[in-house]
Structure 1
Amino acid sequence: MKKTALIYCEGHFGTMDGKTANGLIRSSRKYEIAGVIDSTKAGMDSGECLEGKNNGIPIFESLEHAVKMLPLLPNHFIYGIAPAEAFLKEDERKIIMKAIELKMEIINPLHEFFTDDAEFLNHSIQYGVGLHDIRKPVPSKDLHLFSGRILNIQTPVVAILGTDSAVGKRTTSVILEAALLEKGLKVAFVATGQTGLIQGAKYGVAIDAMPLQFMIGEIENEIMKAYDDENPDIIIVEGQGALSHPAYVSSCGIVRGSRPGAVIIQHPPKRTNLGDFSFMKMPTIESEIELVESFSSAKVIAVTINHENMTDEEIENVVTDYEEKLELPTTDVLKHGCGKLISSLFELFPEIEGKTNKVLSN
């Protein structure tokens, strides 16, 4: 039975910094989401706001408003913002304290660890609730260095990389996983960020919180756990940031640790500057493909589109343009599904097509 949760996303739901909340509204194996807090969109349906389709999950003005309107108080409070500064503001601290007083378990995806905060810790003990720091790594003695075990597995590994942070790599990963499961395949998804872990991914680690010397080994270890436990037909690994990104090294560790046999790249064609670094221009899709293929032994087999600020006509034009220029299948999985991606995977890994139990649809 899923746990119930209320997501805090003040001022950011549906935006890049609201990606944790956005992801949980789109998909959550672990939590039944009761509502979202964002006063700028209060009264709206979260599905209508995010996807143009009602999902019955309301957006509230405040924590007090949610408590008043919901028939039952959710037992978890999720901080759903991924701010560039990665730390709480003073007014947010007060909201967390109030949620603790309401005896809600606190789910914290930030680099700021609540279990290291004396005020939060004492308050949580007083009210008998837990603080869950999703990004907090285990002690170094329990971390893993690269072992080379992954070099001996035959299961196809596919990495979903991108040209920037918050472009939809996790969303594409989850949708592709579901589409492959629908074909009857045994799929293992390895999350590499806080949102995927909160969504309920069985395997994964918050890679950007790892000490650098353990990053590659931890990715390898999670893949090997999935391989040993599930004997999957295919393994999907979520990307982080971008290989070209000047401020992040996560993609480097993911490529080295997962040793993908294929890469899919997610790109937002209308984004001109890096999301959290507006003084820097976005890479082109061509330059990212070249970098990935020179850094990795894998080929880029498809491009997926993030349609932010794009009309349906613009999406269609970009898909046609990319397929002509790049000679790669291109799609927007939120709009058009994963048919092209699955066809590309079957072409590269024909052994997995024979394990399906359904006919591939367009």
Structure 2
Amino acid sequence: MNLRERFDVPVPAIVLAEGEFGTTGGKTANGVVTHSEVFDAKAIVDSETAGRQPSEVLGTPDAPDVPIADSVAAALEAAPEVEALVIGVAPAGGQLPDPWVEEIEAAIEAGCDVVSGLHVFLSEDEHWTALADEYDVSLVDVRKPPGGDELRVGDGSVDDVDADLVLTLGTDCAVGKRTATFELYRAAVEAGLDAGWVATGQTGIMVGAHEGVVVDRVPADFVAGVVEDMVKAVAADHDLVFVEGQACLTHRAYSSVTLGVLHGTWPDAVVIADEPSREKRTHFERFDVDGVEKERSLIEDLSEATVAGLSTWGDPEAQEETHGLPAANVYHEGGAAELLGIVRDSLDEAPTASAGDGTDGEA
């Protein structure tokens, strides 16, 4: 899915983040507000933080200075020019909360397209499709997986691309893989490189990846093939492709999707995202985080990639000394450019490859 092709970007939008703006549960809304190249956030809906500034809630000075309202109606009053409602929270249990029904209806009745990250698909519900038809708006469910005719197993055809491929993996869930991927892409563009990126989660799709799928909705046998097709599509138009990973290879709950992404990308270089203070897995307190060294070993055993370095939440110098890998913190000023330099050094040091094996050294 490429939302750049569906809309005349950037689209002025309201971001629905009810009860979760600035929290881990609102990471999609947070990402859309701060990073999206598709949606230009003009207002945010969250009754918990209404009246505050986004920069204060998110803890970043780069957040746009737009109102946080307590309802869609109030957001529409503050930003009548909006053309879309982005649902940036997927509540536990996967259902549409009853209080949100009127909020979404208000947006549709005001002529807004709805871009949803919910587990339930609005575009398959008669109530929502009838209302969308009545007000001539679109319903876009970013979690909807590819159709059966788009599914295939991986066949290694990604080896034939001429672009350099860089995959961001991690030591756990929610360690900043999507942020690191986007920041690498943005730093590359700012450096004048011909870069594109691939998302494997809903936030990345909404932020504006050149191709994306919510990979955890893809049947297991087809993950590598779906990722391979996305990488090939972006590599056809760009010299350098960054791919967002999911979970990690040492995670007993999610390792299968991680391996599918690794094998579908078959990267030249991998960046490991790590929160050094984390000891237990997010939402899985019985599982310890296995750490950088084990993750690195598995990546290099299960692929032909080189682990280029770390995207760390901690002090880069300390983490470099601990793990023996170059490190940068993309949340620090200049950190993304430093991480890009680490990646480019790794690509430059890779053996010269013949055309068709996926490394042309142009990055």
Q: Shared fold (TM-score greater than 0.5)?
A: yes
Shift of 1:262: 1.2
Structure 1: distance between partners of 2:204 and 2:35: 9
Structure 2: distance between partners of 1:82 and 1:272: 26
Note the alpha carbon deviations across 1:124-151, whole angstroms, 9 max, x for none.
2333322111121232013333232112
Residue in 1 aligned with 2:331? Answer: 334
Residue in 2 aligned with 1:190? Answer: 198
* 1:84–1:276 contact (8 Å) kept in structure 2: no
User: Which aligned segments of 4 or more residues in structure 1 are displaced greater than 4 angstroms?
Assistant: 351-356
**Aligned match for 1:134, one of 139, 142, 149:** 142
Unaligned runs of 5+ in 2: 1-8, 353-358
Matched, 1:156 2:140: no
Per mean C-alpha deviation after superposition, the further-off stretch among 24-33 and 110-119 is: 110-119
**Aligned match for 2:288, one of 258, 281, 284:** 281
Structure 2: distance between partners of 1:47 and 1:225: 36
Change in 2 beyond 3 A, CA 1:142/1:355: closer
Structure 2: distance between partners of 1:11 and 1:272: 27
Per mean C-alpha deviation after superposition, the further-off stretch among 161-170 and 214-223 is: 161-170
Structure 2: distance between partners of 1:245 and 1:82: 22
Residue in 2 aligned with 1:344? Answer: 342
* 2:113–2:138 contact (8 Å) kept in structure 1: yes
Per mean C-alpha deviation after superposition, the further-off stretch among 22-31 and 85-94 is: 85-94
Change in 2 beyond 3 A, CA 1:272/1:349: closer
* 1:273–1:281 contact (8 Å) kept in structure 2: yes
Change in 2 beyond 3 A, CA 1:119/1:5: same
Question: Residue type of the partner of 2:93?
Answer: E
Residue in 1 aligned with 2:174? Answer: 166
Residue in 2 aligned with 1:257? Answer: 264
Question: Residue type of the partner of 1:343?
Answer: G
Structure 2: distance between partners of 1:333 and 1:137: 30
Structure 1: distance between partners of 2:361 and 2:231: 23
Residue in 2 aligned with 1:235? Answer: 241
Unaligned runs of 5+ in 1: 307-314, 357-362
**Aligned match for 1:295, one of 277, 302, 318:** 302
**Aligned match for 1:55, one of 61, 64, 79:** 64
Change in 2 beyond 3 A, CA 1:144/1:30: same
Per mean C-alpha deviation after superposition, the further-off stretch among 80-89 and 9-18 is: 80-89
Note the alpha carbon deviations across 1:214-250, whole angstroms, 9 max, x for none.
211111111111222x1x3321111122222232232
Per mean C-alpha deviation after superposition, the further-off stretch among 285-294 and 175-184 is: 285-294
Per mean C-alpha deviation after superposition, the further-off stretch among 61-70 and 252-261 is: 61-70
Note the alpha carbon deviations across 1:275-317, whole angstroms, 9 max, x for none.
33345433323332233233332232211123xxxxxxxx33x
Residue in 1 aligned with 2:356? Answer: none
Note the alpha carbon deviations across 1:64-108, whole angstroms, 9 max, x for none.
2212333x2411111101444333222223322332233321111
* 1:240–1:250 contact (8 Å) kept in structure 2: yes
Structure 2: distance between partners of 1:349 and 1:254: 20
Question: Residue type of the partner of 1:338?
Answer: A
Change in 2 beyond 3 A, CA 1:293/1:83: farther
Question: Residue type of the partner of 2:281?
Answer: L
Secondary structure of the structure 2 residue equivalent to 1:185: coil
* 1:185–1:355 contact (8 Å) kept in structure 2: no
Per mean C-alpha deviation after superposition, the further-off stretch among 260-269 and 122-131 is: 122-131
User: Which structure 2 residues correspond to residues 306-325 of structure 1 after superposition, within 5 A?
Assistant: 306=313, 315-316=314-315, 319-325=316-322
Shift of 1:46: 1.3
* 2:54–2:66 contact (8 Å) kept in structure 1: yes
Per mean C-alpha deviation after superposition, the further-off stretch among 44-53 and 4-13 is: 44-53
CA-based RMSD = 2.3
Change in 2 beyond 3 A, CA 1:134/1:335: same
- Please give the TM-score of this superposition, normalised by the length of structure 1: 0.87
User: Which structure 2 residues correspond to residues 68-147 of structure 1 after superposition, within 5 A?
Assistant: 68-70=77-79, 72-147=80-155
Question: Residue type of the partner of 1:321?
Answer: A
Structure 1: distance between partners of 2:91 and 2:97: 10
Residue in 2 aligned with 1:246? Answer: 252
Residue in 1 aligned with 2:14? Answer: 6
